[in-house]
């Protein structure tokens, strides 16, 4: 269970509370499972891996597929076109007061155990 960071999450929340900046947890809503793509413009090639797009509060975030595979053993590729199926497998939260670019996600079968997944803001 070393990959799960429940202790780290609780420690982070405690430290933030101690610094008078109370955590404000927002539930993230899954929007789309995006397939890998390549964008080509004159003199530039931009290659993106697959991402899961979520709305956390008022911000759109993209979590790479590799984060789900590494920390939750879930392959988002299996949920392309089936966002509802992914919603049944995992739920995510984001601390609105944190500057860290990470969401905390958990499988319903592992209640109370969260994994931190890195994200990028949607562009």
Report residue 119: phi and psi, to 5°. -140, 170
The pTM of this model reads 0.74
Residue 6 pLDDT level (bands cut at 50, 70, 90): very low
Q: Which one, of 55, 40, 37, 26, lies nearest residue 122 by Cα?
A: 55
pLDDT given at position 78: 96
Contact by Cβ (8 Å): 61, 103: yes
Higher pLDDT: 39 or 115? It is 115
Give the neighbor-by-neighbor strand order of the sheet with 91-95: 115-118, 102-106, 91-95, 25-34, 51-56, 59-64, 120-121
SS3 (DSSP) at 44:
strand
Positive or negative: CA dihedral 81, 37, 123, 115: positive
Name the residue ranges covered by the structural domains of the chain: 6-121
Residue 116 pLDDT level (bands cut at 50, 70, 90): very high
pLDDT greater than 90 at residue 5: no
pLDDT, mean of residues 100-121: 89
**In this predicted model, what pLDDT tens digit does every residue of 43-69 receive, in sequence order?**
665 556 899 999 999 999 999 999 999
**In this predicted model, what pLDDT tens digit does every residue of 73-95 receive, in sequence order?**
999 999 999 999 999 999 999 99
pLDDT given at position 8: 47
Enumerate the β-bridge partners of residue 64.
51
Report residue 121: phi and psi, to 5°. -70, 140
């Amino acid at each position: 269970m070393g990959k799960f960071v429940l202790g780290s999450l609780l420690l982070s929340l405690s430290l933030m509370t101690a610094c008078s900046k109370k955590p404000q947890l927002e539930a993230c809503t899954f929007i789309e499972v995006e397939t890998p793509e390549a964008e080509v413009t004159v003199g530039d090639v931009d290659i993106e891996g697959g991402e899961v797009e979520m709305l956390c509060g008022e911000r759109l975030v993209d979590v790479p597929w590799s984060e789900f595979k590494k920390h939750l053993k879930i392959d988002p590729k299996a949920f392309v076109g089936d966002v509802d199926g992914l919603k049944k497998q995992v739920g995510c939260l984001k601390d609105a007061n944190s500057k860290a670019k990470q969401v905390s996600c958990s499988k319903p079968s592992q209640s109370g155990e969260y994994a931190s997944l890195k994200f990028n803001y949607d562009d």
